[in-house]
Every structure is written in structure tokens, then in C-alpha cells.
Structure 1
């Protein structure tokens, strides 16, 4: 299997393993699925933590309003009574006035927060350093786990206006308004190109046409939008390598300076610097050594 180190710009995203005799189109589809799925997991994890802390989302006409404004407008959250968490509620007001403040009890809230953290870690970019690759199936499995945790705490489901309910309704990256946080990074499979070694990998060709038949290879590929030109090429040296080289050069410079200081008068002890060496040579006493009595 060829291991692809997938990046977007300068950001490390994930590792992906693929056979060498597969089309670039299939690889791109899988990579885009993983990328968008990771974004979805991140959005869901954040909303689940908000759900655990502050309860369900307020209706759109009540979002951002304070209690006195709600009372003045005679608005009512009709979902507060029909969508309550298992075991009861605990009052924890949302300082951003987005959720109704009727949070689940501690044991139920923990189910949401722990599952969210586990899912986030399962697709985290730190897995690149650990050498763990991702698959579309693994990412979708995390989505199923998040959805299952919400159903445990809210068996009746969430209101249709809750962003988390919309995320759970379908495993698709495009099921929310484009202005929702995180959607600026979503990639469209038909508009995404993979770049390697400064050239675009054409979707109608197989990977082996670019790298040969060796399937024990690791490549760094970058996602970019088609028609926008290629992304910046990878630097020859990493930041860690640059720092190590600079530190080595600095130490070497210090060593040379110290040698120069030590050798300023060192030549005076050399035989060639002895002013009486020529006279002693003619007298035949050049190699006579005087031993202490």
C-alpha cells in the first residue's frame, strides 16, 4: 500500500493508505470524504459539548435574546417540554443565548462530552505523527457513535432547528447553510485536485503512472481547488531540520572562535619558531634533550 500524507496548504491533515493500481479519481473521492467527514466530526463534537452544558438549541426567533426581551415579545420555547434529556434537567444558562439552559444531568452530560472527545481524537491531525492512517469507513463510524450518544441522552431526538440534529440527519458535508462555521474548508469532490511533486495528478490516470509500481512508497499530496493553480511546494527542509542546522552552525562557529583564541600564541612553542634552532643545528646539538637532575 502507498501511504499518502495529505495536506491542505501547510496544514497536516491525515494519512491515507491506497493501492498503487487505483485511479486518482477514486483516491480523490476517498480523501475528500475523509476530509469533509473530519470537519463534520469537529462540528458535531463542539455542538455536543454545548448540548451537554446548556441543553437544546433555542428556536431561531429566540436566539440572542435575553430573558426580558423574550418576555416582552411574549415568545415561548415550545420544545423545552417535549425535548428533555433522560434523567432530568439541570439549569445552566448559556451566556451566548443560543441554547435554552436546560442541560442534562452530570451522568448524561458525560456521555456526550466523552463520546465527543473520543471521536475528535480518533480523527485528529496528531495521528499523522503517530503514523495512524484514516479511512472513510472509520470516519463515518465516529459519526455513528456521536449520533448514538445523542440518542441515548435525547431518545426523542432534537428539534429540527438544532444544528446537531441537522448534522445527524444525513452523513453529508453539504447539509447546512454555507455560512455555518467550518464550511469554508469543505471540499467538493468534483472541484478538488491532488498535487504531488509540483504537478497535478489527473483523475483519469492511475497512481502507478506517476510513481511506478512500487507500493512501499510514502508521498506528500496536497488538496487544492481545480483551476486555481498549484499549491506551494513542500520546502526542502522542515522547520525542525532548519533549526538543527542553524544550531550546528552556531556551535561550529563557537568552536572555531575558541580554537583561534587558543592558537594565538601557540606557534611560539613550535620548533620552527625557535630563533636559536639554526645555530643549534650547525653545532649538532639540535636533538639533545636536557633531563632534570
Structure 2
């Protein structure tokens, strides 16, 4: 089984194992299904907390409107009266006007929201900070979510700077060794070859810069102490070893 680390941009998304005889078409289909499902789970996680706090979303023609505007336009949320939490709800207004403001009771929020979040976090590897957007990012996030989805017919895989062409097999690129592990990048058709990854990541780069900064400071201190005062020391005299060998080190010339 050939192991493939699938990346999107510079971020590793998941690892899959397929036989070397698998066609590129089958591989792209499998990768797209997993990747798009991964995005869907992430969006569901991001909405669970908002659902428990502010209830279900309003119809598109009512989102972002004030209460006075809704009354003037005679708009009504028909599904809001049908989609009521079974244990009742509490009024919690959505500041961005996306939801109807009927949040779950705290007990229901803990049972449905927190427990389900923890379950999905363990399954997908998301942390709570990664999946919980701020209120300002929620509406913008949904606009970008559709752009992240990659259709099967528009998907391409790149390996070693070359596109893995449809109609070929994985073995055409990695050989017949079934113990091979490669890194393949998922991209959209027409986007060109993915950018080359840096040799080291940001953390390693900061550590390397800190190391060279310390070395530079050490060299500055050595240059500041670069004096010839040590030449006055006894051990620096060229004839000291010879006199010590002949026993002439303690001879003094002069009156006592």
C-alpha cells in the first residue's frame, strides 16, 4: 500500500493508503470526498456553539434586518415556530442578525453542544480555538466556505512539482514499491503548480535566527576583549620553557 500525505497549500490534511495499481481518477475521487467531508465537519463544528446560543438561522431574506424592518416588510419566519427546542428555549439575541435568538436552555446546551463538540474534536483533531470563529467572522466564513470545496472534476493532484495526470496509475509516478510514502498536494484545475514549501517552518526559522544572534553577540564580546595584555604574562614569554627546563626560573640579578 502506497501512503500519501495529502496537503492543501502547505497544510497537511490527512493520510491515506491505496494500492500502487490505483488509477489517478480513483485517487482524486477518494481524496476529494475525504477533503470535502472534512470541511463539512469543520463547518458543522463551527455552527454548533452558535446554534445552542442563538437558535436556528433565519431565512435569507430576513438575515441582517432589524425588527422594525421585518415588521415593515411583513416578513415571517415560518420554520422558526416549527424548529423549537424540545426542552424549551431562552431569548438570546443574535447581534449579527443571522439567527432567530431562541437559544437552548443551559442543560440542553451542555448535552447537545459541548458533548458533541468534544466528540467531533477528538474525531477530527480540531481544537476549540480552531473551530470556533468570532461573531465578526461567521458571515464572512460562510462566503469563503464554498470556495474551499473542490469538485471532483476540477481537482488535481501534484507530486514533486508535476501534475498527476488522469488516466495513469500511481505506480507510473512512484514505481512498484508498495512501501513508498509520498506527499501530494491537492489543488484546483487552472490554479497552476502549488508554491514550493520553505525549507524550514516559521518556528525553526525563529530558533535559527535566535541562535545566530547569540553567536553574533559572543563574537562582539570576543572582539572587545581582543587585547595583547596577555603578552606580559610569564607563560607567554618564548624562553620561559627553556629556563624552567634548566632550573633558571628563580634566579635574580641584583644586590640582596
TM-score (normalizing by structure 1): 0.66
State the partner residue of 2:134: none
* 8 A Cα contact 1:49 1:112, kept in partner: no
Q: Determine the C-alpha separation between the residues in 1 that align with 2:208 and 2:65.
A: 57
Note closer, same or farther for the CA distance 1:70–1:272 as it changes in structure 2 (3 Å cut).
closer
Gaps (5+ residues) in structure 2? 128-141, 252-256
- State yes or no: 1:48 paired with 2:48: yes
Deviation at 1:248, TM superposition (A): 3.4
**Is 1:197 the equivalent of 2:160?**
yes
Question: For residue 57 of structure 1, what is the aligned residue in structure 2?
Answer: 57
Aligned residues of 1:55 and 1:103 also touching (Cα < 8 A): yes
1:288 and 2:250 equivalent?
no
- 2:6 aligned partner: 6
Aligned counterparts of 1:16 and 1:31: Cα–Cα separation in 2: 8
Deviation string 1:149-187 (CA, Å, 9 cap, x unpaired) is xxxxxxxxxxxxxxxxxxxxxxxxxxxxxx844011111
Is the CA contact (8 Å cut-off) linking 1:197 and 1:233 kept in structure 2? no
Match of 1:122 in 2: 123
1:180–1:285 distance in 2 versus 1, CA, 3 Å:
closer
What's the offset of the Cα at 1:35?
1.4
What is the match of residue 109 of structure 1? 109
Work out the CA distance in 2 between the residues paired with 1:287 and 1:24: 86
What does residue 29 of structure 2 align with?
A: 29
Q: Report deviation, 1:109.
A: 2.4
Instruction: Show the counterpart of 1:131.
Output: none
Please give the root-mean-square deviation of Cα atoms over the aligned residues, in Å: 3.2
Offset at residue 125 of structure 1 (A): 6.4
Q: Structure 1 CA distance, aligned partners of 2:221 and 2:175?
A: 52
Task: Give the distance between the partners of 1:109 and 1:210, measured in 2 at CA.
Answer: 50
Of residues 203, 206, 211 in structure 2, which corresponds to 1:243? 206
* CA distance, structure 1, for counterparts of residue 58 and residue 218 of structure 2: 68
Q: How far did 1:244 drift?
A: 3.5
1:220 maps to 2:179: no
Partner of 1:80: 80
What is the rounded CA distance, in whole Å, between the counterparts of 1:287 and 1:192 in structure 2?
88
Instruction: Within 5 Å, give how 1:92-171 maps onto structure 2.
Output: 92-114=92-114, 115-124=116-125
Higher mean displacement: 205-214 or 84-93: 205-214
Residues 56 and 220 from structure 1, CA distance in 2 versus in 1: closer, same or farther, beyond 3 angstroms?
A: same
Does the 8 A contact of 1:54 with 1:100 survive in 2? Answer: yes
How far has the Cα of 1:291 moved from its partner?
6.6
Unaligned runs of 5+ in 1: 127-178
1:252, 1:27 → 2: CA distance?
Answer: 49
Q: Deviations over 1:69-109 (max 9, x none)?
A: 33333333333332211122222122222222222222222
- Compared CA separation, residues 89 and 228, structure 1 to 2 (3 A): closer
In structure 2, the residue matched to 1:163 is: none
Question: Aligned partners of 2:205 and 2:58: how far apart in 1?
Answer: 51
Look up the match of 2:227.
264
2: CA distance, partners of 1:2 / 1:268: 71
